[in-house]
Structures are given as C-alpha cells and as structure tokens.
Amino acid sequence: MVDLRQMRYFIAVAEELHFGRAAARLHMAQPPLSRQIRLLEGAVGARLLDRSRRSVALTAAGRVFLAEARATVRQADRAVELTLRAARGETGQLAVAFIDAAIYSVIPPVVRRFSQVRPGVELSVTELRIPDQIREVAEGRLHAGFVHPPVPDPRLAVETVFTEELAVALPAGHPLAVRDRVDVAELAGTPLIQFPREINPPLFDDIVALCRAAGYTPPSLREASPKQTVIGLVAAGLGASLLPASLENLRRDGVVYRPLAGPGLTVDTSVIWRRTDRDPVLHAFLRVVREVCRAEDAGPADPVPVPDR
C-alpha cells in the first residue's frame, strides 16, 4: 500500500533527481530514503526511477506517478487545512435569529465584525419573535438567538450582552415632545401603543406596572408589531410608546424620542444557544458577540431611517 509519506519522499527525489539533495531537503539520511523509494516501487509494481552511479532519472511510469502524487498530496494538504479551519470555526454555516429591537442595537456591529473575522462562514440572520427563537434554538434549527429574557427553557444557555433604559416615543406635535425628559406620570392622558403581550409577557407587564406605579392605567392600549409599525402609529398621532432606548435609531419623521425621568425600567438583550452545542463556528460567534458588546459598551447602532408611508 502506498502512503502519503512515501509520495512526499518520491516527489522530493523526482524534483531533485539526486538522493543526497532530496535527503537533505527532507531532513533525513539517504539510506532510509532509498529504502522507502524501493518499497514504494514495490507497492506500485513498477520502476519509477532509473538509477546509476552518476544520475537519477524518471521512467515513463515515474513521470505519470509524479503528476498523480503531486495532485494527491495537494488534495490531502487541502483536506487537512479545511479540516483545521472548520475546527477553528473559520468555515461552516451559522443560523442566527434576533428580535426586531436588536437590529437597532447589537445586531449590526456583531454581524459586521463576525463577517470581517470569519469571511468563510455562511451566516444567515432572521428576525423571529422570542417564543419562536427559543423553540428553534432549543430544537437545533438555529444556532443562536437574541432575545429579551427571561428564557425558561433549561436546554438553553443565556448570556446578557446589552442593557438599556426604556424611553418614550412621542408624536412630534405632542405637548411633551418639547421636554428633555418625560415622567411616566405625564403620559396619563396619552394612549399607549405597545408590542403584543404574547411576544414578551414579563416586559409588557412591567410596562403596565410602571404606569400604574405612576398613578394611572393607560387610557387605551393598542398592540402592534413589529417595531416599525409601532413607530408608524406614533407618527400618525395615535399615541405614545414605551420602548427600548436603542429604538431611537429607528428614525422617522413625525416621531421624537425622549428618555424617562425618575425611576424607569431597564431592558436586557441576551444571546441564547443550546448548552450542548459544541460547534466551533457557534463559539467563534459568541466570542465576537462578547468582544463587540464590550467594545461598544452597549453603544447604539447606526441610525436606520424608515421612510414615510
């Protein structure tokens, strides 16, 4: 049987046409090299080299074997390199999902950086609601997701990567739009437009509780999704919305964003993945997420304009 080591030995001899120089190139003694070439010829069943005291030359069979040996060694080297790249998480596929709010905070810088440092990875990014993400990641159809916690599924690891304050989006003509900050109590007479409760029951309930702690129950609470629709309804003058502060990057004419005065709420964005997933590409992605979120220090994403409709 012919092995790759013997092929490499033969290629060196065939290129040098001198056993001494080939042995020096291979960092070995000449007698073992000569013995390996004889074993190779025995395995192949043909003489590959014509030897004399003064010269070494390829036979016709040797010329054919040299071309094939070079191709085989190149393919073997390529297989090893591709395998090592896959083991380092430099190639492969990665499927990631995100909630709509994350496109205005962590997703742009993370995707940009990961694409720079792992150009050989085929990355797919999809917007999904939190319950769908939890199910798809837990069942292995997605590698990772970006959600607002809590995440009750014990199969998933959860790591908070971004924390922000809640802010208020107001119609530009609203009396409170001229304020630098808005107290939640001052929204008592303004209808609220919020994401549907089933998307994130804890955060929805926290927002309602925040209003009640300020002394009122929202006079009307319209549910809408996604965030672009919420902001569109605010622009239409139908009410205000309490949203993560990064939504200020969702720019639209007729809408102003103001921080809340006094005690408010913070909103976490967490990355989730299966605890048992050892995919090197996934863990390379998680390293980038941590690196970017530390470097950004929870900084905002680039503004995302939304045209009027």
The CATH number that applies at residue 123 is 3.40.190.10
The answer to whether residues 183 and 149 belong to one domain is no
Domain end marker among 39, 65, 87: 87
Residue 212 has a pLDDT of 93
| pLDDT 10s digits, 63-110 | 999 999 999 999 999 998 888 888 888 889 999 999 999 999 999 999
- At residue 297 the predicted structure's pLDDT band, cuts being 50, 70 and 90, is low
Cα–Cα distance measured from residue 178 to residue 175, given in angstroms and rounded to the nearest whole number: 7
More confident residue, 210 or 88: 210
The answer to whether residues 260 and 171 belong to one domain is yes
The answer to whether residues 168 and 136 belong to one domain is no
For residues 225 and 128, the answer to whether their CB atoms sit within 8 Å is no
Checking if the pLDDT of 308 tops 60, the result is no
> What number of other Cβ atoms are within 10 A of residue 23's Cβ?
20
Q: Domain limits at 77?
A: 4-87
User: Rounded to an integer, what is the distance from CA 5 to the centroid of its chain?
Assistant: 39
Question: How buried is residue 283: exposed, middle or buried, by Cβ count under 10 Å (0-12/13-18/19+)?
Answer: middle
For residues 14 and 62, the answer to whether their CB atoms sit within 8 Å is yes
Residue 214 has a pLDDT of 92
Q: Cα-Cα-Cα-Cα dihedral of 59, 60, 63, 68, to 10°?
A: -120
Alpha-carbon distances, residue 258 vs 75, 162, 183, 236, 242 (angstroms)? 61, 20, 10, 18, 10
The answer to whether residues 136 and 283 belong to one domain is yes
The answer to whether residues 17 and 58 belong to one domain is yes
Q: Is the pTM of this model over 0.95?
A: no
First and final C-alpha spacing in the chain:
72
For residues 110 and 301, the answer to whether their CB atoms sit within 8 Å is no
The answer to whether residues 173 and 231 belong to one domain is yes
Integer-rounded Cα radius of gyration of the chain: 32
The answer to whether residues 294 and 146 belong to one domain is yes
Residue 301 has a pLDDT of 41
The answer to whether residues 220 and 274 belong to one domain is no
Question: How buried is residue 194: exposed, middle or buried, by Cβ count under 10 Å (0-12/13-18/19+)?
Answer: buried
Residue at token pair 């569109």: 232
The answer to whether residues 71 and 204 belong to one domain is no
The answer to whether residues 54 and 176 belong to one domain is no
The answer to whether residues 277 and 154 belong to one domain is yes
- Structure tokens of 114? 């990961």
Number of domains in the chain: 3
The answer to whether residues 171 and 258 belong to one domain is yes
